[in-house]
Structure 1
Amino acid sequence: MSTFPDYYALLGVSKTATTDEIRQAYKKESLRTHPDRLTKATVEERKVATEKFQAVADAYYVLSDPSRRSEYDILYRTKAGNKSSDPGSSQNFFSQFANMFAGASTGAGTGAGPHGAMPGHQPDANGVFADVFEELLRPEVERVVPWWSYLGAACGAGLGFIIANIPGVMVGAYAGNRLGAIRDAKGKSVAVVFLSLGGSQKAAILRALALKVLGSAGM
């Protein structure tokens, strides 16, 4: 018989935890287990981290929404002695019971929606992470990827110099930078930009987030 996932244990919270406590616990656990922090990990180590990261996202998705949590708690009380914090149990849980969430609410910030999960499906771990961390991710992402802003400034400066020498450089660089900034921002969510970054850039951003949330990048 497959074990039942103990989402409270996975997040390290009590069964009476508030929604805010669950959110804070998710932030800490997701940063600790995010596979992109493991830049020098072996394939096996990265696989283990990815499974734990997904299970932590599952736990937040279920416990952060009152309707999903209520449905989960009904099952939780019937699984005495058969609960586990093993990440594999979460995947089994969604394959068996995800449809019971089909009628649950999908309010903002609960991990549902475009980056979360469709009712009856396991949530996308990266999407849940981006939703919860959007406020903290945005300045970190914008700090490292204004490619079009830089390119626009360089091209504008060159064109400005051709037209009006040094004054033209200043005007052209500013105009090009603003046009590039529009290109950087247009149609790109924080999640999309973050996921498109290279491994070293993502690791640097995650370390910065860890400093803010955990107090130590090594945690």
Structure 2
Amino acid sequence: MSSTLPDYYAFLNIPQTATQEEVRVAYRRESLKTHPDRLVNATPDEKRKATERFQAVADAYYVLSDPTRRKEYDALYASRSRQEKADDPNASSNFFSQFAGMFGAAAGAQAGATPPERPDAEHVFADVFEELLRPEVQRHAPWWSWTGAVCGAGLGFIVANVPGLMVGAYAGNRLGAVRDAKGKSVAAVFSQLGGDQKAQILRALAAKVLGSAF
């Protein structure tokens, strides 16, 4: 066990008495502040530090949002002095796998379950923000809708000139929209967007959640 315990309450900037809803609200706030994709013009070192912080914030949410994991963590938290707790991403990196193993051993011993892996920060973000993220992703990434419209228009023009082009474009667009809606998860689509598009989406989410854009 690492000698330094990551202070997950400090990562989320909440008291130890925070409710589950307050944990969720805090995660939304801190993850938006630390998301590395909002740093479009950042240096590699700035991007690396932001990524580490973003992951540590996801770790904090993963642990504190689950009552059982939080109980295990709080037992360790109470046993450490203030000097042994750190608001440092490196502390989370060193500690998390050991904590996850301890939790997995306690929770899955009878079922033979394997210890959970460290959470994927992008998927944690997408899961928590799915309700808000979905319209933003759909607005920025109508991949198959546009592809279907172009292909349908070309085929329609070959078959029936201009009227065929219009019918083909509409039909192709609708078929593409089905593929957009059902083919990929919000997390998958968001992860495949370009940096500028992600930054635009993050600014829109910040305006909704924080009341201001970055």
TM-score, structure 1 normalization:
0.88
User: Aligned residue for 2:210?
Assistant: 214
Higher helix share: 2
Q: Secondary structure at the match of 1:77?
A: helix
Alignment check: 8 A CA contact 1:100 1:120 kept: no
Q: What do residues 21-48 of structure 1 show as CA deviations (whole Å, max 9, x unaligned)?
A: 0000000000000001101111111111
User: Aligned residue for 2:100?
Assistant: 98
User: Aligned residue for 2:198?
Assistant: 202
Instruction: State the 1:80 CA deviation.
Output: 1.6
Structure 1 stretches lacking a partner, 5+ long: 106-117
RMSD of equivalent CA atoms: 1.8
TM-score, structure 2 normalization:
0.90
Instruction: State the 1:177 CA deviation.
Output: 0.7
Q: Secondary structure at the match of 1:15?
A: coil
Instruction: State the 1:166 CA deviation.
Output: 3.9
Q: What do residues 69-128 of structure 1 show as CA deviations (whole Å, max 9, x unaligned)?
A: 0000011000022111111111121133221221559xxxxxxxxxxxx74321111111
The amino acid that maps onto 1:145 is: A
The amino acid that maps onto 1:4 is: L
Matches within 5 A, 1:69-80: 69-80=70-81
Alignment check: 8 A CA contact 1:33 1:49 kept: yes
Q: What do residues 135-188 of structure 1 show as CA deviations (whole Å, max 9, x unaligned)?
A: 111111111111221121122223323333443333222111111122323431
Instruction: State the 1:3 CA deviation.
Output: 1.4
The amino acid that maps onto 1:98 is: A
2-structure distance, mates of 1:189, 1:24: 23
User: Aligned residue for 1:29?
Assistant: 30
Assess, with a 3 A threshold, how the Cα gap between structure 1 residues 10 and 146 changes in structure 2: closer, same or farther: same
2-structure distance, mates of 1:174, 1:7: 51
Pick from 175, 185, 192: which aligns with 2:188?
192
Identity of aligned residues (%): 69
Alignment check: 8 A CA contact 1:148 1:180 kept: yes
User: Aligned residue for 2:11?
Assistant: 10
The amino acid that maps onto 1:75 is: L
Alignment check: 8 A CA contact 1:2 1:89 kept: no
How many residue pairs were aligned? 206
User: Aligned residue for 2:172?
Assistant: 176
1-structure distance, mates of 2:170, 2:71: 54
Q: Secondary structure at the match of 2:15?
A: coil
Which stretch has the larger CA shift, 78-87 or 118-127?
118-127
2-structure distance, mates of 1:80, 1:7: 14
1-structure distance, mates of 2:151, 2:99: 55
